[in-house]
Amino acid sequence: MSNHIRLRRGLNIPLKGNALNQITKTISSDILAVKPADFKSLNPKLLVKEGDAVKAGTPVMADKKNLEIVFCSPTSGIVTQIFRGEKRKLLEIRIQSDNLNEYRHIPTPNFRSASRKELIDTLLTSGLWPTIKQRPYGIIPNPEIEPKAIFISGFDSSPLAPDIDFALKAEYETVQIGIDILNMLTKGGIHLSLHAQNYASSPFHKLEKVINHSFDGPHPAGNVGVQIHNIDPVNKGEVIWTVDLYSVAAIGKLFTKGIYDVRKLIAITGPRVKRPSYVECLPGMCMTDIKEYALIKGETKIEKMPIRYVSGNVLTGDNVGPHGYLGFYHNQVTLLSEGNYHEMFGWIKPLRHNKFSFSRSYFSWLSPNKRYSMDTNLNGGERAFVMTGVYEKVLPMDIYPMHLFKAILAEDIDKMEALGIYEIIEEDVALCEYVCPSKTDIQEIISKGIELMIKEMS
């Protein structure tokens, strides 16, 4: 029997463009990219040069702090371009696919009898170790530190999020094998959280060797950080690992097939998408491969604006542009209009039935089931960072968010620890940024706070 947790604080953003449960295309990209920026606190070491031939699973870069942690090519082909920024910072490794899908064979032990060290060594050499994240900080974990427990969120509550049950319905057996392997890496067990409304219909509630939990409530109920906070919070000196079900399936395929196979179904979503649906692709896919889904010219004023290509969801995703690449951890692409206009009278304009407001400034709250073609307009500039109490309404965690943010700005390590810096990462406060009346970049503040903690505590 599962442990049921009901969250009342949060917000479901009623954005148009939810993906239908149908697969409309299998994408074989000509160019894919491996981006060091996808991995927090990574100091990359390049392992290939332009012109090198690679297979799917060939290491192309490593972490200078621990050279055992490698990052692999998602496809077979040729390394065509290596992009660097200021001070020769590595930005992208672009690989031209040969469309042969050749895989590097990875020797794997029998996971049922292998030791914990053998399993970890296999994950390290395969390139799948970076699919695991550590709390605190949301970074790639140190393989020498055993976690208190491992947490998996079996659903995503973010705006227009993919249906994980649909995307992984054919991967139940590999997910179970991945669970079996992860269970050997910790003595604290595997905590799996599912949505209460879909708990009985989800195939994953039948998974073995997991501790089941069900969550009900608005976003961010699907965030693994919120789930950890409500089940077994992270304290100073403790380490917890998190991993998503897509990565669990990839780990299962590694130990059954001996290959680095990270192909997955992602959702193409948003108000500027012609056919919101699912496509099969690889991480690092170029956005030009989905240009046929973009609604270039529509009838309304908003649909005539330029399109923003977001790798991920609208709250935490990256604005990569029409020639950018899908992030390693992202399972959706969102297309929406660029809000580069000024609106006369702004929020005091009467009626405004086509605008959504968290504070109920408009009469749109009378239509609770309506969805909106939102854009990226900030509706104002940055203002004074003052106490409003609005953050607490959307953050279902027992912390004082405003006090924590100001402690980070003041670089007060002691207060940051006392106020919960170990419990949150950027995605957990994304809704605070969305509802912020001061237009403050809250996620950037948290990111700086985490960087400061890593620097001071190392």
The predicted-structure confidence for 97-151, as pLDDT tens digits, reads as follows 998 989 999 999 999 999 999 999 999 999 999 999 999 999 999 999 999 999 9
8 Å CB contact between 41 and 63:
no
| Residue 218 resides in a domain | no
Q: What is the rounded CA–CA span in Å between residue 247 and residue 330?
A: 11
- pLDDT over 50 (residue 356): yes
Tens-digit pLDDT profile for residues 293-344: 998 876 666 667 899 999 999 999 999 999 999 999 999 999 999 987 777 6
60 is a domain residue: no
Any domain includes 51: no
Percent of the chain, pLDDT > 70? 96
Domain for residue 288, yes or no?
yes
Q: 2-16, 320-334, 361-375: which has the minimum mean pLDDT? A: 361-375
- Pair 338, 403 in one domain: no
Categorize the per-residue pLDDT at 1 as very low, low, confident or very high, splitting at 50, 70 and 90: very low
Domain enclosing residue 441, as ranges: 391-457
Range 414-429 average pLDDT: 96
Tokens (6 digits) for 388: 């409003």
pTM of the model: 0.95
pLDDT at residue 333, rounded to an integer:
98
User: For the segment 136-179, what is each residue's pLDDT rounded down to a tens digit?
Assistant: 999 999 999 999 999 999 999 999 999 999 999 999 999 999 99
For the CA atoms of 177, 178, 183, 188, the dihedral, rounded to the nearest 10 degrees, stands at: -140
Same domain, 326 and 397: no
> What pLDDT does residue 159 have?
97
Measured in whole angstroms, how far is the alpha carbon of residue 163 from the centre of its chain?
A: 14
Q: pLDDT (tens digit, 9 = 90+) per residue, 51-65?
A: 999 999 999 999 999
- The mean pLDDT value of the chain amounts to 93
In whole angstroms, what is the distance from residue 6 CA to residue 326 CA?
33
Domain boundary among 289, 324, 345: 345
Model pLDDT for residues 313-323, shown as the tens digit of each residue: 999 999 999 99
Position 181 confidence tier, pLDDT thresholds 50, 70, 90:
very high
The bridge status of strand 133-135 relative to strand 90-97 is unpaired
Half-sphere exposure of 388 (CA within 13 A, CB side): 17
Distance CA 400, CA 420 (A): 8
Between residues 362 and 410, the one the model is more confident about: 410
For residue 320, being part of any structural domain is answered with yes
Residue 321 belongs to some domain of the structure: yes
Reported confidence tier of residue 49, pLDDT bands at 50, 70, 90: very high
Answer yes or no: is 112 within a domain. no
**Quick one: average pLDDT of 389-411?**
96
Dihedral angle computed from the Cα positions of residues 379, 364, 345 and 430, in that order, rounded to the nearest 10 degrees: -10
As a whole number of angstroms, the distance between CA 34 and CA 19 comes to 26
Chain segment 372-398, per-residue pLDDT in tens: 989 998 877 788 888 889 999 999 999
Question: 279: domain CATH number?
Answer: 3.10.20
Instruction: Say if CB 138 and CB 223 are below 8 A apart.
Output: no
Q: Is residue 421 part of a domain?
A: yes
pLDDT number for residue 348: 64
Domain count within the chain: 2
Query: Average of pLDDT values for 260-272?
Result: 97
pLDDT at 298: 65
